Amino acid sequence: MVSSVLVGYGMGSVGSPFWMVYIMNRNNIVLCALLTAGAVLSASCSSDDPGTVRGASRTSSEESDAAVTDMSGDEDFSDSSIATAVSVAVSGSGNSSEVYQAYYDALMNIRGNHTLPDGRELDYLSGAGIVEDDQFAVYDIDGDGRDEMILLWTTASASGTLMYVYEYNAEADAWTMEICCSPSVTVYDDGMILAEDLYDQGYAVTITPYTVYTYNENTDSYIAAGAVDCWDRAATNGMDGEVFPEEYDTDNAGVVYMIDYAGYIGYGGGYCYSQSEYDGFVASLIGDKEELDIDYLNLSDANIDQATSGRC
């Protein structure tokens, strides 16, 4: 996600023009791209020292010409144009070209053989749709400065409809599955994920029950930090001998909540939180976090190539 862009123009020592693009992403990492008529020299620079270049790479002159045209022709410095101009060289993260090659190979294998990077077979149900209906993204979902491979697998039975997030370590030649959960998720800029339970058979109507996942940078994976459910009076009173716990509905909202999270009683305390108490919980949980808008693509050959093109 581009938050700010600075573009400079100048002439080289031999009279050739160049453009320097500085882009600040959501992780406060400054991305530098030096665009010339012959090549694109790009690097990821720390926000503390934008002049320190790391991991520089060079693309072909044909790709550079296209990038320079995009930057100089109509002076379109929108997020999409800037991203297009530098995507041939840098993704906005600390990944190497080997990582994107691994993501390309893994996605093609998922598409063709329904097999995950760690060798596990996906639950594939042909009657649920075609593989192109499944979606993916190559995106830094956990905010660690490196892109992950995200798969929303839906051409499956109910139990096999899941979201997978994998990261590839090129140095170790190893894959890490960071999370496997419901594909109906809300993702926040600190890496927190709220995953809805799409097949809950309980008494919830007001909300869809969900699990709260938080990212642990020490293990480079997610942990289930808590869960939330609700009990609606209208949906369940008297059903199966259960009686709605009116004593906890202090707001007379017709709903009470079960909150299993740090500082809350949890499952042991049952459905004992009112609507206003739940609203307070959500406010404290979300705080000033911003929801991420991840651009998922259908799992087609062309999209897989597009997501990794110029990176591997």
More confident residue, 204 or 107: 107
**Could you give the CA distance from residue 153 to residue 157 in angstroms, rounded to a whole number?**
10
**Could you give the CA distance from residue 308 to residue 102 in angstroms, rounded to a whole number?**
10
Confirm whether pTM is higher than 0.75.
no
**Could you give the CA distance from residue 63 to residue 42 in angstroms, rounded to a whole number?**
13
pLDDT digits (tens, 9 = 90+) for 112-143: 999 999 999 999 987 777 899 999 999 999 99
Q: Which of 12, 57, 54 is nearest to 39 (CA)?
A: 57
Token digits of residue 30: 């400054």
> How would residue 173 be classed by pLDDT, with cut points 50, 70 and 90?
very high
Say yes or no to pLDDT of 87 above 80: no
Of 13-27, 166-180, 205-219, 233-247, the one with minimum mean pLDDT is: 13-27
What is the C-alpha end-to-end distance of the chain, expressed in Å?
21
More confident residue, 25 or 232: 232
pLDDT digits (tens, 9 = 90+) for 262-283: 877 765 567 899 999 999 999 9
* Residue 61: strand pairing partners: none
Say yes or no to pLDDT of 1 above 80: no
Element (H, E) at 81: helix 79-86
pLDDT digits (tens, 9 = 90+) for 187-223: 999 999 999 998 876 889 999 999 999 999 999 999 9
Contacts of 247 (CB under 8 A, 6+ apart): none
**Could you give the CA distance from residue 152 to residue 29 in angstroms, rounded to a whole number?**
27
pLDDT digits (tens, 9 = 90+) for 43-70: 333 334 333 333 333 333 333 333 333 3
